[in-house]
Chain A
Amino acid sequence: MPQVMVVARNFMDMVAALPASKLDMLYDSAFICEAVLRSLPPLAKKYALQMLYVLAPVTATAMEEWVREGYAAKHRVAIDKLLQLRVFVEVRDKRKEVSYQMNHKFQDNMQKYLVDGGCLPREPIPLSITGRLPSSADLETYALDQWECFLLQLINSSQVEKGSFSSSMMKTFQRGLLSSRDGEAPKLTENGFQFLLMETNAQLWYIMREYISSAEERGVDPTELISFLLELSFHYLGAAYSLNTLTDVQRVAIKDLAVLGLVKLQQGRKDSWFLPTQLATNLSASLSDSSSSKEGFVVVETNFRLYAYSTSKLHCEILRLFSRVEYQLPNLVVGAITKESIYGAFENGITAEQIISFLKQNAHPRVADKIPAVPENVTDQIRLWESDRNRVEMIPSHLYEDFPSKEWFEQCCDHARDHGYLLWEDSRRMRLIVRGEFHSEMREFLRRQR
């Protein structure tokens, strides 16, 4: 889904934007190298693997011969990505020819990783100390509950059941998604609505990006946070890791992550430990299609009725964004997609594509196999309603009238038409409308004519 790629690439862009020395420091950890490798587009991954054991630089022209004709653009994109993340380093020789070589640190670490495997900076605590650990099903429900609670907070700041979030942390998470005017409760912005309709992975990456960019304001080094987050995804799902193995920075971060449902904190008699949930272990799966086995729950019928087999409040709220919810039964939400409800969604800044992709992604397994998963008349109608709103296009412009003579008027018209900014002319009444940006040029022209 294109949306996941956009957000994840932004996270990687953030990583790439780090200064070169910090980036090289990050590559000390084999896990971060692996996470970075996995985030590359497939062609770039292939190039990286090919160059893994090549010590001498390879000229750029030689590399261009690896692709077939017509795909040079893809090749360029892959090479750029590799250069941005400093996986490939440019080397210029005496003849000014460009060649690429793999970053030495990256290369050494990956070679070692392929032979030995990596070792995490911490080991799981044995069962004798922790006692019975929650099962993976428990962890999954815990993670989902926390995540839904967080999203519900976004939609309805007043209606929160588990009110144990620290306010400063909520502020950092909600930057850009909520806007609050004085005296009023915070409302969702356009980005906020679009955020709600995204896939879970995309949402996670968005939040992580916001968290890390706000880390600098709080005085926390973003490099450490990035390396901790990327390492977290390689921990064993459901195994307990002691909190003593974390640095101070990481300890603060872990509490915030627990609120989101990425880890579960538990306390024993003497130690306390954290267990990574599925949300954390799936963090490094940024570019590949989401590995969530979450089943869809929405059935859309050709008569514009919507049936959502879900008990979650969050799903109900999301559906309320663009459809009129009619009944809410213990396991079913029945609604209808109407013109008013869709117009309401458009007012909030949601686009038709987002609504349609949300419906497609969350299609109930019964209809998901059908082509198309959402009936065409519904998708076409949503798009038509969107284009209805765009019927009237507004362009700032200037009106010229009261021309003294006809030839002057004709000359102005021709001048405007030649330069492509004539919008409308009325030769009977000698009136002319020209794009707003070119007003000064028109004035110059008129002055020269006089």
Chain B
Amino acid sequence: MTSAHSKLYSDDVSLVVVVVDTNPFFWATAALPFADFFANLVHFVNSILLLNHLNRVVVIASGVSSCAYIFDSSDASPAGGVGVAATFDKASRRVEEFIAQDARATAANSSAASANAAALLSGALSLAMCYIQRIFRSGTRHPQPRILCLQGSPDGPEQYVAVMNSIFSAQRSMVPIDSCIVGTQDSAFLQQASYITGGVYLKPQELNGLFQYLAAVFATDLHSRTFLRLPKTLGVDFRASCFCHKKTIDMGYVCSVCLSIFCKNQKKCSTCG
């Protein structure tokens, strides 16, 4: 698959949409406490805003049953821009509200509550792509967008179709999806996402130094990526999940019309008939 580097970037103005995994089931047992992780993240956000006065950052939180926009750097008054300390306060308050809200929603819908619950990556990616499309339509001078996913929870195979659709639409719009895994297992979805869209996939070994990883690798703007050596993945997990049971499968049956994947031979394709 061709990468997104075929587009020519002339300057380093960027829009970074950060998708943060706030799945409480994962963070309860994670090695790095959520507060430290969030502090690293806000520090990274401030450093991106520091690099260029036209840079913009949007933070989207993905919970277990919902996603929401947490922070948008262009919300501030056009007078002076968001002060650094104010960013941290606003973002922390908002993310706490969101986690509480998400916990209530999950409790109400108790079918998803389990230790292996996945974060709602598909919803967050869709929110990100919608925001980016709005930016594309805002005029000829817009920042170059990219998406950064900070994921810790395992993948939810039931989201396979939705996630792949978002990945293809990102590929179409030439928006790279970078991934940084803060959990213990690799994520097949994000590996595929970064591979297909030309982004960077990284699983840091030292989570205490997360800011340094973020600043060294993910702060690179799209213009400079053509010159720098960035981490390359050795192998990509291309496994799909079947459309009928949402199980991850290696071999299956494919509809010859719409290419939907099934684990059992079916007479009629459920997608296209």
Contacts and interface: CB of A to CB of B under 8 A. Distances in A.
A202 to B, nearest CB: 15
A67 B141 CA distance: 29
B85 A238 contact: no
A65 B229 contact: yes
Contacts of B43: 114-115
A220 B193 CA distance: 58
A46 B13 contact: no
Interface residues on A, range: 35 or more
Interface stretch (A182-190, A258-266, A283-291, A435-443): A283-291
Nearest to B77: A236
Given A49-B215, A115-B84, A74 B227 contact: yes
Q: Interface size bucket, B side?
A: 20 to 34
Given A42-B11, A42-B223, A284 B215 contact: no
Contacts of B249: none
Given A49-B51, A114-B50, A285-B54, A42 B221 contact: yes
A288 B228 contact: no
A324 interface: no
B11 A288 contact: yes
Output the residue of A37, A46, A71 with the most chain B CB within 10 A. Answer: A46
A-side binding surface: helix, strand, loop or mixed?
loop
A83 interface: no
Given A52-B215, A285-B53, A46 B229 contact: no
A448 interface: no
B216 interface: yes
Nearest to B50: A34
A50 interface: yes
Given A53-B211, A68-B227, A236-B79, A369 B53 contact: no
A296 to B, nearest CB: 11
Contacts of B229: 65-68
Contacts, number: 94
B224 interface: yes
B83 interface: yes
A368 B139 CA distance: 11
B78 interface: yes
Interface in A214-245: 234-239
Contacts of A239: 79-80
A45 B12 contact: yes
B106 interface: no
B80 A43 contact: no
Given A67-B227, A237-B80, A289-B141, A117 B12 contact: no
A305 interface: no
Contacts of A115: 43, 84
Contacts of A38: 51-53
Contacts of B86: 117
Nearest to A114: B46
Interface of B: 10-13, 43, 46-47, 50-54, 78-80, 83-86, 140-141, 211-212, 215-216, 219-221, 223-224, 226-229
Interface of A: 34, 37-38, 42-43, 45-46, 49-50, 52-54, 65-68, 71, 74-75, 113-118, 136, 234-239, 284-285, 287-289, 291, 368-369
